[in-house]
Structure 1
Amino acid sequence: MYKKILVPLDGSDRAEAILPHVEKLAKLYGSEVLFMRTVEGDYFVPGYQEVVDISGYEQEYARRKKEVESYLESLRLKFNEKGISNRPIVSYDSVVQSILNTAEKEEVDLIALASHGRSGLARAFYGSVASGVLNRIDRPLLIIRSN
Protein backbone atom coordinates (compact mmCIF):
# COMPACT_ATOMS: atom_id res chain seq x y z
CA MET A 1 0.00 0.00 0.00
CA TYR A 2 2.68 2.51 1.02
CA LYS A 3 5.82 1.57 -0.88
CA LYS A 4 7.51 4.94 -0.34
CA ILE A 5 6.94 7.30 2.58
CA LEU A 6 8.30 10.83 2.44
CA VAL A 7 9.16 12.27 5.86
CA PRO A 8 9.99 15.99 5.78
CA LEU A 9 11.87 17.08 8.90
CA ASP A 10 13.33 20.30 10.25
CA GLY A 11 15.63 18.80 12.89
CA SER A 12 13.35 19.59 15.82
CA ASP A 13 12.00 17.14 18.40
CA ARG A 14 8.50 18.29 17.44
CA ALA A 15 9.02 17.29 13.82
CA GLU A 16 10.49 13.96 14.89
CA ALA A 17 7.26 13.09 16.71
CA ILE A 18 6.16 11.54 13.39
CA LEU A 19 8.99 8.97 13.42
CA PRO A 20 7.35 6.29 15.62
CA HIS A 21 4.31 6.37 13.31
CA VAL A 22 6.48 6.11 10.22
CA GLU A 23 8.47 3.26 11.75
CA LYS A 24 5.30 1.23 12.37
CA LEU A 25 3.94 1.89 8.89
CA ALA A 26 7.26 1.06 7.23
CA LYS A 27 7.51 -2.24 9.10
CA LEU A 28 3.88 -3.10 8.37
CA TYR A 29 4.08 -2.40 4.64
CA GLY A 30 7.78 -2.97 3.97
CA SER A 31 8.05 0.67 2.90
CA GLU A 32 11.11 2.64 1.93
CA VAL A 33 11.35 5.80 4.03
CA LEU A 34 12.67 8.98 2.42
CA PHE A 35 13.95 11.41 5.04
CA MET A 36 13.95 14.94 3.65
CA ARG A 37 15.31 18.16 5.02
CA THR A 38 15.73 21.51 3.34
CA VAL A 39 18.92 23.54 3.44
CA GLU A 40 17.58 27.00 3.95
CA GLY A 41 19.62 29.95 2.79
CA ASP A 42 19.24 33.59 3.58
CA TYR A 43 18.57 35.54 0.45
CA PHE A 44 20.64 38.67 0.34
CA VAL A 45 20.16 41.48 -2.15
CA PRO A 46 22.89 44.12 -1.98
CA GLY A 47 22.01 47.77 -2.32
CA TYR A 48 22.92 49.93 -5.27
CA GLN A 49 26.70 50.20 -5.67
CA GLU A 50 27.25 48.16 -2.54
CA VAL A 51 30.32 45.94 -2.45
CA VAL A 52 29.65 42.68 -0.71
CA ASP A 53 31.95 39.90 0.39
CA ILE A 54 29.80 36.81 -0.01
CA SER A 55 32.38 34.39 1.39
CA GLY A 56 30.74 34.61 4.82
CA TYR A 57 27.39 33.67 3.32
CA GLU A 58 28.97 30.80 1.41
CA GLN A 59 30.65 29.48 4.55
CA GLU A 60 27.41 29.66 6.53
CA TYR A 61 25.50 27.91 3.74
CA ALA A 62 28.16 25.17 3.59
CA ARG A 63 27.93 24.77 7.38
CA ARG A 64 24.13 24.44 7.20
CA LYS A 65 24.37 21.92 4.37
CA LYS A 66 26.84 19.79 6.32
CA GLU A 67 24.61 19.97 9.41
CA VAL A 68 21.59 18.81 7.38
CA GLU A 69 23.53 15.95 5.78
CA SER A 70 24.84 14.81 9.18
CA TYR A 71 21.35 14.92 10.69
CA LEU A 72 19.86 12.84 7.87
CA GLU A 73 22.72 10.35 8.07
CA SER A 74 22.04 9.77 11.77
CA LEU A 75 18.39 9.01 11.00
CA ARG A 76 19.39 6.73 8.15
CA LEU A 77 21.63 4.70 10.46
CA LYS A 78 18.93 4.43 13.17
CA PHE A 79 16.37 3.12 10.70
CA ASN A 80 18.93 0.78 9.10
CA GLU A 81 19.48 -0.78 12.53
CA LYS A 82 15.73 -1.42 12.71
CA GLY A 83 15.79 -3.10 9.30
CA ILE A 84 13.87 -0.32 7.57
CA SER A 85 14.91 0.65 4.05
CA ASN A 86 15.55 4.38 3.87
CA ARG A 87 17.51 7.13 2.24
CA PRO A 88 18.16 10.82 2.82
CA ILE A 89 17.10 13.63 0.50
CA VAL A 90 18.50 17.13 0.84
CA SER A 91 16.47 19.86 -0.85
CA TYR A 92 17.26 23.46 -1.61
CA ASP A 93 13.90 25.05 -2.52
CA SER A 94 11.28 26.51 -0.20
CA VAL A 95 10.11 23.87 2.27
CA VAL A 96 6.56 23.37 0.94
CA GLN A 97 7.68 23.41 -2.69
CA SER A 98 10.48 20.95 -1.87
CA ILE A 99 7.98 18.54 -0.33
CA LEU A 100 5.65 18.78 -3.32
CA ASN A 101 8.45 18.40 -5.86
CA THR A 102 10.06 15.49 -4.05
CA ALA A 103 6.73 13.68 -3.63
CA GLU A 104 6.14 13.89 -7.35
CA LYS A 105 9.69 13.11 -8.46
CA GLU A 106 10.06 10.13 -6.11
CA GLU A 107 6.47 8.95 -6.69
CA VAL A 108 5.85 8.59 -2.97
CA ASP A 109 2.67 6.94 -1.74
CA LEU A 110 2.44 8.84 1.54
CA ILE A 111 3.80 12.03 3.06
CA ALA A 112 4.09 11.87 6.84
CA LEU A 113 4.79 14.94 8.94
CA ALA A 114 4.16 16.50 12.30
CA SER A 115 2.37 19.80 12.60
CA HIS A 116 3.41 22.24 15.28
CA GLY A 117 -0.25 23.07 15.84
CA ARG A 118 -0.03 26.81 15.40
CA SER A 119 -3.25 28.62 14.77
CA GLY A 120 -4.56 32.13 14.37
CA LEU A 121 -2.06 34.93 14.02
CA ALA A 122 1.00 32.73 14.57
CA ARG A 123 -0.03 30.52 11.64
CA ALA A 124 -0.73 33.51 9.42
CA PHE A 125 2.57 35.16 10.30
CA TYR A 126 4.88 32.16 10.20
CA GLY A 127 2.95 30.15 7.64
CA SER A 128 2.31 26.49 8.02
CA VAL A 129 4.16 23.77 6.18
CA ALA A 130 1.43 21.26 6.95
CA SER A 131 -1.26 23.62 5.71
CA GLY A 132 0.72 24.49 2.60
CA VAL A 133 1.23 20.84 1.74
CA LEU A 134 -2.34 19.87 2.61
CA ASN A 135 -3.78 22.49 0.27
CA ARG A 136 -1.64 21.48 -2.70
CA ILE A 137 -0.80 17.78 -2.49
CA ASP A 138 -2.29 15.10 -4.72
CA ARG A 139 -1.57 12.03 -2.58
CA PRO A 140 -2.20 10.71 0.94
CA LEU A 141 -0.91 12.82 3.79
CA LEU A 142 -0.47 11.74 7.41
CA ILE A 143 -0.29 14.68 9.80
CA ILE A 144 0.08 14.31 13.53
CA ARG A 145 0.00 17.18 15.93
CA SER A 146 3.12 17.40 18.03
CA ASN A 147 3.17 19.10 21.42
Structure 2
Amino acid sequence: MYRKILITTDGSAVSQHTACAGVKFAQQMGAEVLVLFVAPEYQYPVYVEIVPPAYPSEVEYIEQMQRMGQETMGSVLRSAQECGLKHTCLTAFSDAAALKIVDVAEQQDCDLIFMGSHGRSGWGQLLLGSVTNKVLSQTSKPVLVHRLIREPGS
Protein backbone atom coordinates (compact mmCIF):
# COMPACT_ATOMS: atom_id res chain seq x y z
CA MET A 1 0.00 0.00 0.00
CA TYR A 2 2.75 2.47 0.97
CA ARG A 3 6.11 2.40 -0.82
CA LYS A 4 7.98 5.18 1.01
CA ILE A 5 7.17 6.51 4.47
CA LEU A 6 8.55 9.77 5.88
CA ILE A 7 9.18 9.44 9.62
CA THR A 8 9.94 12.61 11.57
CA THR A 9 11.85 12.96 14.82
CA ASP A 10 12.85 15.97 16.91
CA GLY A 11 15.07 14.10 19.35
CA SER A 12 12.62 14.01 22.27
CA ALA A 13 11.96 10.67 23.98
CA VAL A 14 8.35 10.63 22.77
CA SER A 15 9.44 11.41 19.22
CA GLN A 16 12.07 8.65 19.28
CA HIS A 17 9.51 6.07 20.43
CA THR A 18 7.11 7.27 17.76
CA ALA A 19 9.80 7.03 15.07
CA CYS A 20 10.62 3.46 16.07
CA ALA A 21 6.89 2.64 15.92
CA GLY A 22 6.96 4.14 12.42
CA VAL A 23 9.72 1.75 11.44
CA LYS A 24 7.64 -1.21 12.69
CA PHE A 25 4.69 0.08 10.68
CA ALA A 26 6.90 0.42 7.58
CA GLN A 27 8.08 -3.16 8.10
CA GLN A 28 4.46 -4.37 8.10
CA MET A 29 3.85 -2.42 4.88
CA GLY A 30 7.13 -3.51 3.27
CA ALA A 31 7.92 0.17 2.71
CA GLU A 32 11.12 2.16 2.43
CA VAL A 33 11.81 4.63 5.27
CA LEU A 34 13.02 8.23 5.08
CA VAL A 35 13.85 9.60 8.54
CA LEU A 36 13.80 13.40 8.82
CA PHE A 37 15.22 15.74 11.44
CA VAL A 38 14.44 19.44 10.96
CA ALA A 39 16.95 21.79 12.57
CA PRO A 40 16.35 25.52 13.02
CA GLU A 41 18.00 27.90 10.56
CA TYR A 42 21.24 29.60 11.56
CA GLN A 43 20.58 32.83 13.43
CA TYR A 44 22.94 35.67 12.71
CA PRO A 45 23.91 37.79 15.71
CA VAL A 46 21.79 40.90 16.15
CA TYR A 47 24.87 43.12 16.15
CA VAL A 48 26.99 41.69 13.37
CA GLU A 49 29.83 44.15 14.10
CA ILE A 50 30.22 42.71 17.61
CA VAL A 51 30.13 38.94 17.27
CA PRO A 52 30.77 37.20 20.60
CA PRO A 53 33.90 35.04 20.44
CA ALA A 54 32.00 31.88 21.39
CA TYR A 55 29.30 32.42 18.73
CA PRO A 56 29.56 29.68 16.07
CA SER A 57 30.02 30.55 12.42
CA GLU A 58 27.34 29.45 9.99
CA VAL A 59 29.53 26.59 8.78
CA GLU A 60 30.19 25.42 12.36
CA TYR A 61 26.48 25.60 13.15
CA ILE A 62 25.51 23.57 10.08
CA GLU A 63 28.14 20.92 10.90
CA GLN A 64 26.95 20.78 14.52
CA MET A 65 23.30 20.39 13.49
CA GLN A 66 24.25 17.68 10.95
CA ARG A 67 25.99 15.76 13.77
CA MET A 68 23.02 16.30 16.07
CA GLY A 69 20.68 15.06 13.33
CA GLN A 70 22.77 11.92 12.84
CA GLU A 71 22.75 11.25 16.60
CA THR A 72 19.01 11.92 16.82
CA MET A 73 18.20 9.61 13.92
CA GLY A 74 20.71 6.91 14.94
CA SER A 75 18.37 4.69 16.95
CA VAL A 76 15.68 4.96 14.28
CA LEU A 77 18.13 3.99 11.55
CA ARG A 78 19.40 1.06 13.63
CA SER A 79 15.80 -0.07 14.06
CA ALA A 80 15.26 0.13 10.28
CA GLN A 81 18.45 -1.89 9.69
CA GLU A 82 17.34 -4.55 12.15
CA CYS A 83 14.00 -4.77 10.31
CA GLY A 84 15.81 -5.13 6.99
CA LEU A 85 14.23 -2.00 5.52
CA LYS A 86 15.70 0.24 2.87
CA HIS A 87 16.29 3.50 4.71
CA THR A 88 17.81 6.95 4.39
CA CYS A 89 18.10 9.90 6.71
CA LEU A 90 18.01 13.62 6.08
CA THR A 91 18.73 16.67 8.20
CA ALA A 92 16.93 19.71 6.82
CA PHE A 93 17.07 23.32 7.96
CA SER A 94 14.01 25.49 8.48
CA ASP A 95 12.37 27.69 11.07
CA ALA A 96 9.02 26.38 9.83
CA ALA A 97 9.38 22.65 10.60
CA ALA A 98 5.89 21.70 9.42
CA LEU A 99 6.34 23.29 6.00
CA LYS A 100 9.75 21.63 5.63
CA ILE A 101 8.24 18.24 6.48
CA VAL A 102 5.56 18.73 3.82
CA ASP A 103 8.15 19.93 1.27
CA VAL A 104 10.45 16.97 1.90
CA ALA A 105 7.54 14.52 1.63
CA GLU A 106 6.69 16.03 -1.77
CA GLN A 107 10.28 16.24 -3.03
CA GLN A 108 11.15 12.71 -1.94
CA ASP A 109 7.89 11.23 -3.29
CA CYS A 110 6.74 9.81 0.05
CA ASP A 111 3.34 8.10 0.22
CA LEU A 112 2.77 8.70 3.94
CA ILE A 113 4.00 10.98 6.72
CA PHE A 114 4.32 9.20 10.08
CA MET A 115 4.69 11.47 13.10
CA GLY A 116 3.82 11.83 16.75
CA SER A 117 1.15 13.91 18.38
CA HIS A 118 3.60 15.43 20.84
CA GLY A 119 7.20 16.50 20.55
CA ARG A 120 9.10 19.02 22.58
CA SER A 121 6.95 22.05 21.85
CA GLY A 122 5.81 22.44 25.46
CA TRP A 123 2.75 22.36 27.68
CA GLY A 124 0.50 24.13 25.19
CA GLN A 125 0.16 21.03 23.02
CA LEU A 126 -2.62 19.35 24.96
CA LEU A 127 -4.40 17.52 22.17
CA LEU A 128 -2.12 17.50 19.16
CA GLY A 129 1.39 18.88 18.70
CA SER A 130 1.57 22.19 16.88
CA VAL A 131 3.93 20.86 14.19
CA THR A 132 1.68 17.85 13.61
CA ASN A 133 -1.36 20.09 13.41
CA LYS A 134 0.34 22.32 10.84
CA VAL A 135 1.46 19.34 8.75
CA LEU A 136 -2.11 18.02 8.73
CA SER A 137 -3.38 21.36 7.46
CA GLN A 138 -0.64 21.84 4.83
CA THR A 139 -0.43 18.51 3.04
CA SER A 140 -2.68 16.46 0.83
CA LYS A 141 -0.66 13.33 1.64
CA PRO A 142 -1.93 10.90 4.27
CA VAL A 143 -0.53 11.54 7.75
CA LEU A 144 -0.53 8.80 10.37
CA VAL A 145 -0.43 10.39 13.82
CA HIS A 146 0.98 8.06 16.46
CA ARG A 147 0.05 8.84 20.03
CA LEU A 148 1.71 7.22 23.03
CA ILE A 149 -0.65 6.21 25.82
CA ARG A 150 1.98 6.96 28.46
CA GLU A 151 5.37 8.64 28.58
CA PRO A 152 8.43 6.50 27.70
CA GLY A 153 9.99 4.93 30.77
CA SER A 154 6.81 5.08 32.88
Q: TM-score, normalised by structure 1?
A: 0.80
Instruction: Please report how far the alpha carbon of residue 57 of structure 1 lies from its aligned counterpart in structure 2 after TM superposition.
Output: 2.3
Q: C-alpha distance in 2, partners of 1:138/1:54?
A: 45
Q: C-alpha distance in 2, partners of 1:54/1:140?
A: 46
| 1:91-111 per-position Cα deviation (integer Å, ceiling 9, x unaligned) | 011311210110100111110
Alignment of 1:88-107 (within 5 A): 88-93=89-94, 94-107=96-109
Q: Match of 2:84, SS?
A: coil
Structure 1, 74-83 or 90-99: larger mean CA deviation: 74-83
Structure with greater helix percent = 1
The residue that corresponds to 1:136 in the other structure is: 138
Aligned residues: 142
Instruction: Please report how far the alpha carbon of residue 55 of structure 1 lies from its aligned counterpart in structure 2 after TM superposition.
Output: 6.4
Report the RMSD for the aligned CA atoms in angstroms.
2.7
Contact 1:32 1:84 survives alignment (8 Å) = yes
CA 1:117–1:62 in structure 2 vs 1: closer, same or farther (change >3 Å)? closer
Q: Match of 2:144, SS?
A: strand
Contact 2:35 2:89 survives alignment (8 Å) = yes
Contact 1:26 1:33 survives alignment (8 Å) = yes
The aligned amino acid for 1:10 is D
Q: Match of 2:40, SS?
A: coil
The residue that corresponds to 2:22 in the other structure is: 22
Q: C-alpha distance in 1, partners of 2:75/2:20?
A: 16
Structure 1 unpaired stretches of 5+: none
Q: TM-score, normalised by structure 2?
A: 0.77
The aligned amino acid for 2:28 is L
Percent of residue pairs identical: 26
The aligned amino acid for 1:51 is I
Contact 2:19 2:76 survives alignment (8 Å) = no
| 1:25-47 per-position Cα deviation (integer Å, ceiling 9, x unaligned) | 22222100110001224523424
Alignment of 1:14-53 (within 5 A): 14-41=14-41, 43-47=43-47, 50-53=49-52
The residue that corresponds to 1:82 in the other structure is: 83
Q: Match of 2:138, SS?
A: coil
Structure 2 unpaired stretches of 5+: none
| Off by >4 Å, runs of 4+ in structure 1 | none
| 1:55-87 per-position Cα deviation (integer Å, ceiling 9, x unaligned) | 622245532321212332442233112212111
